[in-house]
Amino acid sequence: MARAKLDNRKRVRDRPRMMKTLVMVGLGGALGASLRFLWGVSVMRLTGPSEFPVAIMMANVLGSFLMGAFVVFAAHRGLTHLSPFVMTGLLGGFTTFSAFSLETVTLMERGDVGAAGLYVALSVGLTIAGLMLGLWLTRGLLL
C-alpha cells in the first residue's frame, strides 16, 4: 500500500514534465511539417513538376542525415533533453523516414542484423499494404 502511494505521488509530480515534453513535441512537429511543405514547394519550383517524388525522397534523406548528426551531437554535448523537440517533433514532422532509419541502424549497431532486415521488410511491406487496404476500403465505401 505504501509503495502504491509513492508511485501515485511520482506520477502526479511527473505530469508537468510530461506536458512540457508533449508541448515541445507538438511545436517541433508543427515546425517540421511546415518546413516539409516549404521544402516540397521549393524543390518543385526549382525542378518543375515531376511524376517522381523527388522532394519527398530528398526530405527523407536530409531528415535521416540530420537525425544521425543530432544523435551524436546531442550525446556529446549533453543535449539529449532536446530529443523530443528535435527528433520526435521537428524531424518527425519533416520526415517520419528519419525515425525509421534510426531504428534500423540502431538494431544493426547492436549486432541484430536479422531483426533490422525484418524491421525494414515488415515496415515497408505492411505500411504499403495498410495504405492499399485503406484506399480499397474507403473507395468501396465512397464510390
What pLDDT is stored for residue 131 in this prediction? 87
Mean pLDDT of the chain: 90
- How confident is the model over 14-71, as pLDDT tens digits? 788 999 999 999 999 999 999 999 999 999 999 998 888 889 889 989 999 999 999 9
| pLDDT level of residue 7 (50, 70, 90 thresholds) | low
Q: What does the pLDDT average to over 86-102?
A: 91
Under the banding of pLDDT at 50, 70 and 90, the label for residue 13 is confident
Burial 22-58 (b: 16+ CB within 10 A, else e): eebbeebbeebbebbeebbeebeeeeeeeeeeebeee
